[in-house]
Amino acid sequence: TLPTEASTQPVAERTLVLVKPDGVRRGLSGEILRRIETKGYTLRAVELKNATTEQLAAHYAEHEGKPFYGPLVEFMMSGPVLAVVAEGEGVIPGFRSLAGATNPTDAAPGTIRGDLGRDWGTKVQQNLVHGSDSPESAAREIALWFPTLG
């Protein structure tokens, strides 16, 4: 049989965003979701979650052994995170560009980290958001944070 139109549609690009505990604590979740939506991306899933050690070990596996790894995991467990799946063409690099540079001091004005973040003198850069850095990371991270999302 011929493939149906639906089955030949490419799966829309998705990324995993986390509003980190500093963002949730400071009441910036709405502002961050607003920036994702006004850019034109679609919110597919939004859920407040308490991260577990196992989840963070998997999420940040590439950073294991680095000096900021312990403080990073501790920080990510210091309060709830808002886990978000955003969708749209180019959303993976697009959200990274909305987020700005990792260090909020260096992040350009106009970006989430540049407008809303600063250096708080802690061991870990409290930079408000996480965004997947590649299609492979996005698939892995979405499965990790939203195991039931089809």
The residues, ordered by sequence, that sit 6+ positions from 36 with a Cβ below 8 Å of its Cβ are 17, 43, 84, 86, 95, 98
Is 128 one of the binding residues for ligand IDP (CB under 6 A)? no
Which listed residue (112, 116, 124, 142) binds ligand IDP by CB under 6 A? Answer: 124
* 96 known member of a binding site: yes
Q: What angle do CA 33, 19, 59 make, to 5 degrees?
A: 130
* Distance from the Cα of residue 117 to its chain's centroid: 15
Q: Does the annotation list 140 as a binding residue?
A: no
Per CB under 6 A, contacts with ligand IDP among 81-100 are: none
Cα gap 47→101, rounded to integer Å: 25
| C-alpha gyration radius of the chain | 16
Minimum distance, C-beta of residue 126 to ligand IDP, in the bound complex (Å): 7
Candidates 8-16, 43-51, 127-135, 138-146; binding stretch for ligand IDP (CB under 6 A): 127-135
Interacting residue ranges for ligand IDP, rule: CB under 6 A: 63, 68, 72, 102, 124-125, 127, 130, 133
